[in-house]
Amino acid sequence: MSSRPQSQRDPAAAVPEEALPFVEKFANALVNAGMQRMPARVLGATLASREGSLTASELTEVLRISPAAVSGAVRYLAQLRLLHRGRKPGERRDHFFIGNELWYEVVGHADQVYGTLAKTLDEGVQAVGVDTVAGRHLAETRDFFDYLAAELPQLVKRWRDQRLSQAPEAGS
């Protein structure tokens, strides 16, 4: 019998070895899209984890990064609603996991951000003048963010409707 407590998994088994190239490739794609490197790696590892969650010590060992890097990455991802903290029954250690509706929940809340940006840009238009070059650039950007704020909720609704229509019927 192992001396390891039952609630502590072997970090090497937490993310399959064959998935590590995916983790790095996915992280690079996110970095190219503008995400910081450590949060991108943590997100990739969590997505590829066998049980859908990892502890801080597992992330440290799997990714070979410091506990401080894990802490900063997890905090950043939690702010973006990409990662959640929770505990499994009977355990005292936090697990970091990705919700089932990860992407469309994040995108679904982006309309609020775009709405705020549009309002702020409108203040900029008023400050520099509607008929100036800067005013026209700000107004075009404002209009784009207004469009995104209006369209994103419909896009997320269509995605949810599509997912529901594809879900297997209960009891089949």
All structural domains of the chain with their residue ranges: 11-97, 102-166
Phi, psi of 139 (to 5 degrees): -65, -40
Positions in the chain short of pLDDT 70: 1-12, 100-101, 169-172
Distance CA 149, CA 111 (A): 4
pTM assigned to the model: 0.73
**Predicted pLDDT of residue 163:** 85
Pairing relationship of beta strands 84-86 and 95-97 according to DSSP bridges: antiparallel
Distance CA 83, CA 106 (A): 10
**Predicted pLDDT of residue 99:** 73
SS3 55: strand
**Predicted pLDDT of residue 2:** 41
Query: CATH 2.30.30.240: does it fit domain 11-97?
Result: no
